[in-house]
């Protein structure tokens, strides 16, 4: 067991895998690169008000610009605190993450398929 090797934020991106084919994305919360299949895609959906609602896109089918997030409430919190969604999705103003939060809560923290 390598144990907890998270010493630096940048250090983790150097991981080598036997399968380099898997596309990588960066989580907007913890900023760790991971396999695309392990991350949840989130897209912005313009709401009736000025507030933009984020919606989870587990199948990766929704059009538009997407942000990638670990299906983890910690990462969601981090992303919110940093306003990472607004930055990743080029949004201005408040962003409503309730739908994503609910999605993660429903998934129970496990990796749904």
Note the residues at the interface with Zn ion (CB under 5 A).
27, 29-30, 70, 75
Three-class SS state of 72:
coil
Q: What's the closest the beta carbon of residue 48 comes to Zn ion, in angstroms?
A: 30
And the tokens for 3?
């144990």
Query: From the CB of 72, what's the least distance to Zn ion, in Å?
Result: 6
CA contacts within 13 A on the Cβ side of 18: 0
Q: Which is nearer to Zn ion, 41 or 70 (CB)?
A: 70
Helix (H, G, I), strand (E, B) or coil at 96: strand
**Which residue bears the tokens 């299949």?**
37
* Minimum CB distance to Zn ion, residue 32 (Å): 5
Please say whether the dihedral angle defined by the alpha carbons of residues 61, 88, 90 and 100, taken in this order, is positive or negative. Answer: positive
Residue closer to Zn ion by CB (options 27, 42) is 27
Q: Which is nearer to Zn ion, 23 or 63 (CB)?
A: 23
Alpha-carbon distance of 106 to 73, in angstroms, equals 11
Rounded to a whole number of angstroms, the minimum distance from the CB of residue 9 to Zn ion is 11
Task: State which residue, 30 or 95, has the beta carbon closest to Zn ion.
Answer: 30
């Amino acid at each position: 067991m390598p144990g907890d090797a998270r010493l630096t934020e940048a250090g983790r991106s150097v991981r080598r895998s036997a399968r380099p084919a898997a596309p990588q994305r960066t989580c907007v919360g913890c900023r760790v690169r991971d396999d695309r299949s392990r991350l949840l895609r989130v897209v912005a959906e313009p709401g009736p008000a000025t507030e933009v609602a984020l919606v989870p896109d587990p199948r990766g089918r929704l059009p538009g610009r997407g942000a990638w997030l670990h299906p983890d409430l910690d990462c969601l919190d981090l992303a919110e605190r940093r306003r990472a969604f607004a930055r990743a999705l080029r949004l201005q103003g408040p962003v409503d993450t309730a739908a994503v939060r609910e999605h993660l809560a429903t998934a129970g923290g496990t990796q749904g398929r």
